[in-house]
Amino acid sequence: MKYIALIAHDGKKAELVEFVLRFKKFFSKVPTIATHTTGSRLKAEGFNVETVASGPKGGDAQIASRITEGQVGGVIFFRDPMGKHPHEPDINMLLRLCDVYNIPLATNPATAELIARNIT
């Protein structure tokens, strides 16, 4: 089974953790990978999640690499549209690769719910 990648900007991390808790049954059945800080928060809630570097330190690029290797089946990335992010080029690369490889991508809870309800 392919990974579901979980990423959230700082202002959205709590919202992503709440989302994962809401869909605990789904996330307990699929392998997950997350950027470091997001993954650490999920681990604190008892979730088994593989972590990569934080986003600004290359974590988005690491997940993008997993996409190109065929290891990721969906990406849930709660983005903060109002903030500036020094690693924006990595974020854009990740989003572009989701399109190139036809990977479901959710950047908000409504779309993430579609992924959590429909990927098996």
Q: What pLDDT was estimated at residue 119? A: 65
Domain boundary assignment for the chain: 3-118
Q: Cα–Cα distance between 30 and 2 in angstroms, integer?
A: 8
Handedness of CA 47, 67, 73, 88 (dihedral sign): positive
Q: Check: CATH 3.40.50.1380 for 3-118?
A: yes
Mean pLDDT calculated for residue range 32-45: 96
Active site residue 60: yes
- Listed in order, strand segments (DSSP E) in 2-118 are 3-8, 32-34, 50-51, 72-78, 105-106
Predicted confidence band at 55 (pLDDT cuts at 50, 70, 90)?
A: confident
- Tell whether the model's pLDDT for residue 120 goes beyond 60: no
Question: Annotated catalytic residue: which of 10, 60, 90, 99?
Answer: 60
